[in-house]
Amino acid sequence: MIGIIGAMSVEIDGLVAVMDERETISCGAYKYELGKIYGKEVVVCRCGIGKVFSATATALMIEKFSPDAVINIGVAGGAKPLCQGDIVVSKRTVQHDYDGTADGLKMGQVHGFDSQYFECDEILVNAISKVIDELGYPYKVGTVATGDCFVSDNKKSAYIASTFDANAFDMESGAINQVCVVQKVPFVALRAISDNGDDSAMKSFYEFVTEAATRSINIITKYIQTL
């Protein structure tokens, strides 16, 4: 079974719509859609925006449904020169707002871990990249930086990009990845760029979010078909 998590309805609705044998199971405030896509078992969840929502939804998904892998799909801000519609596949994630520097850690390094970065599953990264190649979307394999803020400022986006070598900024991937690392579940994030995290980011986001989300859904659907 493949677990798929998106923060917003627009990021998962197209995926849920093509599921066969669908069943909804509620776990507290979260709803998990179980079913099949191209005959493959999947569980899909809209987690809500931010690190706490996404981490909680991931922990529950792993506990209740034991997925073989977890994939986070959706949209994100992208570091220039990435453009709207480009795809970022996470080789690793980092939580750019985690600050343990007063305790001797590097910026972004979570207590209990040796690095700022949480690595993603290489097999998943390569498989998703191959699918994107076949679809012909422009993409980059790189770092996704996560924090509990919508990056909409030129200075902030430049700082995150340069400090963490980040290609995309979102609010969930790093938290989901941390849970998956702790629970030893393979993980990758697949993010379609909706804006550049600059002063016009909010306007760009709302203008392009549906199209960007559709691209990530197309990719994950085709990936499932190849399994």
Are the C-beta atoms of residues 89 and 220 closer than 8 Å to each other?
A: no
Predicted local confidence at residue 206, as pLDDT: 58
As a whole number of angstroms, the distance between CA 209 and CA 217 comes to 12
- What is the reported pLDDT for 201? 47
Residues in Cβ contact with 45 at an 8 Å cutoff, skipping those fewer than 6 apart: 3, 4, 5, 6, 12, 30, 31, 32, 33, 57, 61
Q: What is the pLDDT of residue 207?
A: 60
CATH number of 2-215: 3.40.50.1580
CA-closest candidate to residue 90, choices 128, 47, 137? 128
Measure the CA dihedral 73/19/54/94, to 10°.
-20
Residue of 86, 170, 172, 195 marked catalytic: 195
Residue among 32, 64, 85, 69 nearest 176 (CA): 69
What's the confidence (pLDDT) of residue 199? 45
Q: Which of 11, 33, 86, 170 is catalytic?
A: 11
Closest among 88, 72, 99, 87 to 172, alpha carbons compared: 72
The pLDDT of residue 153 is: 78
> What integer pLDDT is reported at residue 152 of this predicted model?
76
pLDDT at 147: 97
**201-226 and 122-135 helices cross at what angle (nearest 10)?**
100
Q: Which helix (H) or strand (E) holds 174?
A: helix 173-183
Partnered with residue 188 across adjacent β-strands are 71
The pLDDT profile of the chain, 227 residues, written as one tens digit per residue, is 999 999 999 889 999 999 999 999 999 999 999 999 999 999 999 999 999 999 999 999 999 999 999 999 988 888 888 888 899 999 999 999 999 999 999 999 999 999 999 999 999 999 999 999 999 999 999 999 999 998 877 888 889 999 999 999 999 999 999 999 999 999 999 998 876 654 454 555 656 677 777 888 899 999 999 99
Known active-site residue 11: yes
Strand (E) positions, the chain?
A: 2-6, 20-27, 30-37, 40-46, 69-78, 87-95, 117-119, 139-146, 166-170, 187-195
**33 annotated active-site:** no
